[in-house]
Amino acid sequence: MYFAALLARTEDGWEASDTELDDVETLSDLTDLAREASVDEDTVLVFIEQEDAWFGVVRVDGEEDPRIFISDATAAARSSYGEILLTDELLGREPGAEDTIAALEELVGLDGTEDGEPDITPDNDNDNELDADAVPTGPLGDTGILADLGLPEAELLMLRTDALVEIADALGAAEVLETVR
């Protein structure tokens, strides 16, 4: 079960709205959605939560690049909404590198077999080798994303269940978030 909401900062406090992510395919789409909810280019927070698995916060301040925090990158990687947040930049990868490598491997057949031959390559589970495509375990992203809004890094990193409620409470927006929950 997913929950997604936008919190837009205004002169009068925070305004909350639930949001559908069905048409959101990229971080750019999500950022555009947040900017549409912005009043005078003020801060907008996008909350995404998969019940008891992970949560993510995307912060958009005017035209600046979005800032992202994900509570559990491994769990988010198994989610279509999490994949939106797990950008190459956030993972420390060269943008588009995964697509380029896959295309090259397909083009030249780097699996070591001829067409029609079975792949009899032994599984080498060498724990000492770092898989370039691996997603790190645990929190990922900007841990100071909410520090200036009242939620220090250390507290953000300790959040587990009902995290969005606790975040909204620290921001003074618990009541408005509850109206869309």
Alpha carbons within 13 A on the beta-carbon side of 166: 13
Q: How many residues appear in the chain?
A: 181
Q: Which residues pair with 46 in a beta bridge?
A: 6, 58
* Weakly modelled stretches of the chain, pLDDT under 70: 95-133
> By the 8 A CB rule, do 15 and 7 touch?
yes
pLDDT at residue number 160: 80
What are the tens digits of pLDDT across the range 39-84?
788 999 999 999 889 999 999 999 999 999 999 999 999 998 999 9
